[in-house]
Every structure is written in C-alpha cells, then in structure tokens.
C-alpha cells in the first residue's frame, strides 16, 4: 500500500508561499534552532530531534539533532513522517511506526532505524504549517502527555524564532512589523493577564523601556506545575534587541519545561543555567532570574524560591513590616556548576511578596537610582491588593526617572488575601 498522503495540503499555494517566505529551505544549520532540538531530544530521552520544513516535494531538515554533520538533511515529502502533520495541521504521535498504516513503509524505518515518532506542527507567523518540530526514537515508545508538552512549547519557540526573522528581514516595513512582533513576543514573555490562582491574589505590571515597540528582555509568568502547586518565574536578560529577546524566550521556555519535570526550584534554575550555557562558548548575554513554587493552603501560602543572581524580592507583612529576601545564587548563562540560592517563606493572610526586575531599582534621575531603600519604603506604605501594589511599584520607578524608562520594568505580586 502506498503511503497515505494529502497532496492538497502539501500543495496549498498559501502554505507554499509561507514556506518560501520563511527562507529556511536549503539553509545551514543554526544555533537558534539547534538549541531547541537539542533541548527536545534531551528532555524526551530521544536520539533525534528535528525541525523540518516541507514544500510540495521535499521535507528539509533545518535542524536535526542526532544526525551526523555529514548525514542526510532531507527526504522526499511523500517519504516523510512530516507530510501527515502538514496535511492535518495536528500533532502526530506514533509509538511504533512499523504498525501504523500512515508510516509503515517510510524508508527511514530501515535507513535510520526509526521506530517511534512524535511531532507538532511548525507554524509560520500567519499560522500556516511549514513543517514539524519532532523527536524520533529508534525503539518503540509509549509517549506520554508529559512528553508532548515540551514538544509543544519548544515547537512554539521555533515558530517564534521564524516569526522574529520574518519581522527582522523585511526591509520596507521592518519597523511596523518589528513592533507588531515585539507585541507578540511581549505576550509570550509577559502574559497580559496571569491565571487565576484559587485562594491567592496574583498580579503583574510591566512598563517597556522607551515606551514600547521594542523587543523586551524581561519575562515573568505564573503557571500550574501539577499536584496543586504553582510555579512563578521572573527574569531579566542583560541587553536589548533581537538577541536579548531570543535569550529571554529560550530562558522562559527552559524554565517552563524544567518546571514540569522537577519539583525542585533549584534544579529548575540549574537547568536554566545549563540551557543558556549550551548556546555556545561565548554566551555574552546573561540572565538573572528567580523561579518559585507555591502551594496555597487555607491559612497561608508556602513559597519556595530559587535564585540566579536576581534582585531580591520584597516580603511585606500584613502590618507593613518589610524585608528584602536575599535569595542569592549566580546569574545564569556564564558559569558552570552554579549553586542556586534558595529560600522559603510563608505568606499569612494579608502578606505579599513582590518580585521585580532591575529596571525598578536601577531607574535613575540625575544619576541617583531609585534603589532598594525607596522600594522598601514604598511597599511598606502601600496596603492593597496585588494589582495595586504591582502598579505602584512600576509607577514609582517610572516617576523617579521622569517618565522615560531606559530599561524594562516589571513587577509580579503574590498576596494572600485577608480571610
């Protein structure tokens, strides 16, 4: 039986135009994609991970972790696993490719020993399916839902990389597109709203350097990590522009993926450091970050934080007492074998934890930085919900430097409501 294919989807002219626009066909291997496939293969314990682009006749392997440098970099489209993802636009997971009618006679089963395949669509900025982001194993696998989550987030990161390039490449309307993309990226790095956490008041505020429209280097999020626990991350890439945004995305995804695999905050921070260091021998851009987990209980919230050289959060007790939490650790992406700083606190009713980026304390007027003292005074004075407190921190820093922030400024607040 010939492979089941769907020529209509492969030949869709809009899709083919998007493939051409992406400009990835027959291009060299690049770190931006190789970082992501390496991460996918490592996380999923698979020997191969690929980012592919498929036109009407060929499946080109833009990145192919595990394939030797002089190895193959493509197959024909109708002899590929990817064609089915392109046709359906949906993820495809096959535990034993020899048993599946869609894939049982694909040549790579013999030539590369492929036994298991899992992939998600690789999307163009306009949503067209360019190809796949996939992992390949040489033994049969019972893929789990946990396996697919890293693929989904890393595949999305690969898609954003493509979107980033599309924006940067375009000459005639580069600025407009870069600004549109900055907004898209900003949503990936700085979600416009945080999820509702039962029993806890969480809020974030952000002000972009120079009033916006630029690529940001700050990121934060709050997300469930399973078992009733939540994770939160805040981080800051030293630097600005495209490179900083790429590093911020990689850092954000590394933390998100690691958080699903380890309940230990310090382990997640170590993973962040290793991921950033794996970018290459000359990682000029570093990241400071705090990753924390928290569990909301009836009478309080237990928070564990692990740090990578990030500015210290402020703990505000209900009565207005404030302290800096010196989480410690070393900035991520430069040194091997860093030891993350760790701290644990308990938020009682009315207590709040304020996480922020260095744009807050480094905001300057006439050479004088806003600084930790002013921040502590401000937080001590300011009672109210998480949103009010986060907004007050960002506004005060902005006001201090006369409304013209030279750095991104972010604040995330977790506050235990008064029962």
Q: Name the site residues for another protein (rule: CB under 8 A).
A: 236, 238-239, 284-286, 288, 308-312, 326, 328-331, 334-335, 338, 341, 358, 362, 364, 367, 369, 406-407
Scan for tokens 């990161």, then name that residue.
157
Q: How far is the CB of 329 from another protein (least distance, A)?
A: 5
Q: How far apart are CA 327 and CA 339, in angstroms?
A: 11
Q: Which three-class secondary structure state does DSSP give residue 264?
A: coil
Q: How far apart are CA 393 and CA 354, in angstroms?
A: 9
Rank residues 244 and 416 by Cβ distance to another protein and give the closer one.
Answer: 244
Q: How far is the CB of 341 from another protein (least distance, A)?
A: 7
Q: How far is the CB of 312 from another protein (least distance, A)?
A: 7
Q: How far is the CB of 165 from another protein (least distance, A)?
A: 25
Q: How far is the CB of 59 from another protein (least distance, A)?
A: 41
Rank residues 155 and 309 by Cβ distance to another protein and give the closer one.
Answer: 309
Q: How far apart are CA 220 and CA 205, in angstroms?
A: 10
φ, ψ (nearest 5 deg) of residue 195: -65, 155
Q: How far is the CB of 308 from another protein (least distance, A)?
A: 7
For 95, the token pair is 């535990």
Q: How far is the CB of 209 from another protein (least distance, A)?
A: 11
Rank residues 159 and 292 by Cβ distance to another protein and give the closer one.
Answer: 292
Find, among 375, 361, 355, 374, the residue nearest to 405 by Cα: 361
Q: How far apart are CA 192 and CA 206, in angstroms?
A: 9
Q: Which three-class secondary structure state does DSSP give residue 400?
A: helix
Rank residues 82 and 306 by Cβ distance to another protein and give the closer one.
Answer: 306
Rank residues 30 and 362 by Cβ distance to another protein and give the closer one.
Answer: 362
Rank residues 104 and 364 by Cβ distance to another protein and give the closer one.
Answer: 364
CA angle, residues 299, 303, 309, in degrees to nearest 5:
160
Q: How far apart are CA 255 and CA 33, in angstroms?
A: 18
Asked if 385 and 345 touch (Cβ cutoff 8 Å), the reply is no
Q: How far is CA 346 from the centre of its chain?
A: 28
φ, ψ (nearest 5 deg) of residue 62: -60, -45
Rank residues 232 and 288 by Cβ distance to another protein and give the closer one.
Answer: 288
Q: Which three-class secondary structure state does DSSP give residue 273?
A: helix
Q: How far apart are CA 309 and CA 235, in angstroms?
A: 10
List the beta bridge partners of residue 343. 305
Rank residues 157 and 353 by Cβ distance to another protein and give the closer one.
Answer: 353
Q: How far is the CB of 330 from another protein (least distance, A)?
A: 3
């Amino acid at each position: 039986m010939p492979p089941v294919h769907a020529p209509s989807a492969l030949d869709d002219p809009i899709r083919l135009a998007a493939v051409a626009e992406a400009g990835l066909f027959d291009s060299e291997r690049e770190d931006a994609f190789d970082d992501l496939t390496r991460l996918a293969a490592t996380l999923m314990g698979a020997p191969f991970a690929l980012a592919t682009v498929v036109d009407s006749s060929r499946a080109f392997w833009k990145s192919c972790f595990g394939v030797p440098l002089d190895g193959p970099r493509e197959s024909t489209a109708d002899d590929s696993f990817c064609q089915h993802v392109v046709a359906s636009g949906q993820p495809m997971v096959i535990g034993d490719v020899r048993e599946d009618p869609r894939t049982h006679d694909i040549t790579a089963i013999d030539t590369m020993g492929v036994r298991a395949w899992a992939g998600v669509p690789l999307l163009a900025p306009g949503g067209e399916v360019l190809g796949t982001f996939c992992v390949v194993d040489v033994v049969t696998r019972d893929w789990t839902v946990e396996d697919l989550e890293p693929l989904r987030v890393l595949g999305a990161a690969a898609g954003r990389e493509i979107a980033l390039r599309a924006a940067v490449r375009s000459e005639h309307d580069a600025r407009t597109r870069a600004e549109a993309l900055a907004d898209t990226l900003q949503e990936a790095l700085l979600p416009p709203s945080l999820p509702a956490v039962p029993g806890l008041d969480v809020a974030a505020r952000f002000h972009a350097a120079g009033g916006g429209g630029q690529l940001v280097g700050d990121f934060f999020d709050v997300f469930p990590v399973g078992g009733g626990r939540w994770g939160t991350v805040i981080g800051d890439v030293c630097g600005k522009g495209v490179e900083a945004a790429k590093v911020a995305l990689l850092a954000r995804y590394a933390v998100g993926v690691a958080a699903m695999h380890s309940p230990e905050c310090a382990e997640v921070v170590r993973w962040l450091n290793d991921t950033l260091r794996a970018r290459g021998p000359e990682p000029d851009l570093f990241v400071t970050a705090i990753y924390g987990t928290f569990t909301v209980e009836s009478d309080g919230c237990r928070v564990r934080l692990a740090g990578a050289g990030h500015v210290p959060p402020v703990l505000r007790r209900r009565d207005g007492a404030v302290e800096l939490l010196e989480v410690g650790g070393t900035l991520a992406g430069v040194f091997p074998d860093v030891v993350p700083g760790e701290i644990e606190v308990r938020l009682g009713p009315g207590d709040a934890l304020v996480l922020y980026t260095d744009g807050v304390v480094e905001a300057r007027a006439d050479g004088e930085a806003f600084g930790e003292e002013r921040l502590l005074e401000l937080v001590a004075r300011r009672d109210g919900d998480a949103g009010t407190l986060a907004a007050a921190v960002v506004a005060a820093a902005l006001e201090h430097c006369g409304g013209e922030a030279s750095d991104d400024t972010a604040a995330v607040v977790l506050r235990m409501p008064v029962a």
